Amino acid sequence: MRKADSLMIQISRLAKLHGIARMRKCAILLESVELKLAQTQADAGAAGAGTEADSLVLYACDVVRFLAEDAESGSELAAAAGTCLKTFSAPEFSLTFRAIDDFRHYLMRISGQAPADWDLHDFRPRRRTETEPGTFSPKSPVRVYLPGFRVYLEDIRSPFNVGTIIRTAEALGFEEALLSPHCADPRHPRALRSAMGAVDILPWRHCSPEDLAPLGPIFALELGGLSLQEFAFPKRG
């Protein structure tokens, strides 16, 4: 068994699944491959990263080939799998990765799975900021952000909401997210799903309200407050 197979089932076991169950299992396996490939690409400087990526691609190829060649697949599924297989010899890794992702979503559609927002993934390599510890590859691009712009989450109990706010703050270019001591953990599974990778991109830390004063002007959002279109935002805060 290849190294990449350690957390994935053997291809021979797929033959024991039939119909929708087989297609859904293959979609799950390909999703696991995509997530692991994205991480190995982010950690490309680590020893053995290339070997692991090769093993993952070979495993994905085995899954797709199984569906292309198995008589139970039917002509339409076999043709789609065959099209995906052709990209495994492509010189550019991005073409193979995209083909795996497209085929996985095809399997989800024909097996009746409608992806929700939290099922979507950001497969871009993780980025680091100048203020983050050196946990990512030195070759990773430095994140571009608006200096001095921060969002403070005060006692947000819902992990889903915490993840959503962090994702939104990252998209808007905030420098960091600050969380009160009683906020839900951004590493909670539901927070990670709604953040869609932003927890590993946007710097965040815990701090009490008393620690906010040195950071600059503070303004709060409330339902009965001034319209955002009428508010003059400061350059920092």
Q: 220: buried, middle or exposed (CB in 10 Å: 19+, 13-18, 0-12)?
A: exposed
- What are the pLDDT digits (tens) for 43-52? 654 444 567 7
Cα–Cα distance measured from residue 164 to residue 194, given in angstroms and rounded to the nearest whole number:
5
- What are the pLDDT digits (tens) for 69-105? 999 999 999 999 999 999 988 778 788 888 999 999 9
Name the DSSP class of 38: H
Cα–Cα distance measured from residue 99 to residue 233, given in angstroms and rounded to the nearest whole number:
44
Beta strands in 4-140 (DSSP E): none
How confident is residue 116, by pLDDT bands cut at 50, 70 and 90? Answer: low
Residue 48 is predicted with a pLDDT of 44
Q: List the Cα angle 207/210/215 in 5-degree steps.
A: 75
Task: Determine which helix (DSSP H) or strand (DSSP E) holds 159, and give its type and residue range.
Answer: helix 159-172
One domain for residues 7 and 95: yes
One domain for residues 231 and 137: yes
How many domains, in total, are found in the chain? 2
One domain for residues 111 and 7: yes
One domain for residues 111 and 211: no
Q: Name residue, tokens 């508010």.
A: 231
Show which of 115, 139, 155 is a domain's final residue. 115
Q: Tell me: pLDDT of 131 over 60.
A: no
Give the range of the structural domain holding residue 166, as residue numbers without chain letter.
Answer: 128-237
Residue 186 maps to which CATH number?
Answer: 3.40.1280.10
Show which of 115, 143, 162 is a domain's final residue. 115
Residue 58 maps to which CATH number?
Answer: 1.20.120
- For residue 121, being part of any structural domain is answered with no
Model confidence, pTM: 0.52
Show which of 115, 143, 178 is a domain's final residue. 115
Q: SS3 of 151, please?
A: strand
> CA 154, 157, 159, 161: dihedral to nearest 10 degrees?
-60
- What are the pLDDT digits (tens) for 132-169? 433 344 444 566 777 888 899 999 999 999 999 999 99
The mean pLDDT of 13-42, rounded to a whole number, is: 87
Q: 58: buried, middle or exposed (CB in 10 Å: 19+, 13-18, 0-12)?
A: middle
Residue 91 is predicted with a pLDDT of 78
- What are the pLDDT digits (tens) for 159-191? 999 999 999 999 989 999 999 999 999 999 899
